[in-house]
Amino acid sequence: CRDLGLLYVEQGQLPTAEYVYREGLERLQEIGLEDDLMAADLHYYLAELALEQGNNLQAERQYLKARDIYEVTGGRDGLKMAKTLHGLARALAAKEQWSRAQAHVERALEIYAQRVEPSNPRISGARTLREEARARVARGSTNGRR
């Protein structure tokens, strides 16, 4: 269902992609695999969809679910965890929760440094977000909500 969802995303059919991901999660839950790595991946994809559509609260919830599963399934220091933490930081920044965003993007950068080449665009994007979060935290803009 992950690949099918990605095809729908590529075609711009975001509601259908979301449906496919949610159905996949339901099927995993039915067979007792709601805490499986595949479930974490589906939560991550749902978070990306929510963030793209400006639903920052839903994105945050889905990223947190993905993060929690990666933590207990051995994916704690993997690239998927870094991408999840980076996405979570983006969702939090969109809600102007800069202090929390900074903590998550810092951890994402630690993992990226171990897993990808320094020229990877994810690293530059995460560094930009980290610098903005640091500046906002220094100015005291840490708790705004959207």
Q: How many Å apart are CA 73 and CA 15, to the nearest integer? A: 29
Number of H helices, E strands in the chain: 7, 0
Residue 1 pLDDT class (50, 70, 90 cuts): confident
pLDDT, one tens digit per residue, over 94-113 is 999 999 999 999 999 999 99
Buried b (16+ CB within 10 A) or exposed e, 5-35: beebbeeeeeeebbebbeebbeebeeeeebe
Contacts of 56 (CB under 8 A, 6+ apart): 50, 91, 92, 94, 95, 146
Q: What percent of the chain has pLDDT over 90?
A: 82
- Are 4 and 20 within 8 A, CB to CB? yes
Q: Rounded to two decimals, what is the model's pTM? A: 0.89
* pLDDT beyond 80 at 116: yes
pLDDT, one tens digit per residue, over 74-89 is 777 899 999 999 999 9
Residue 145 pLDDT class (50, 70, 90 cuts): very low
Query: What pLDDT does 143 receive?
Result: 59
pLDDT, one tens digit per residue, over 39-77 is 999 999 999 999 999 999 999 999 999 999 999 987 778
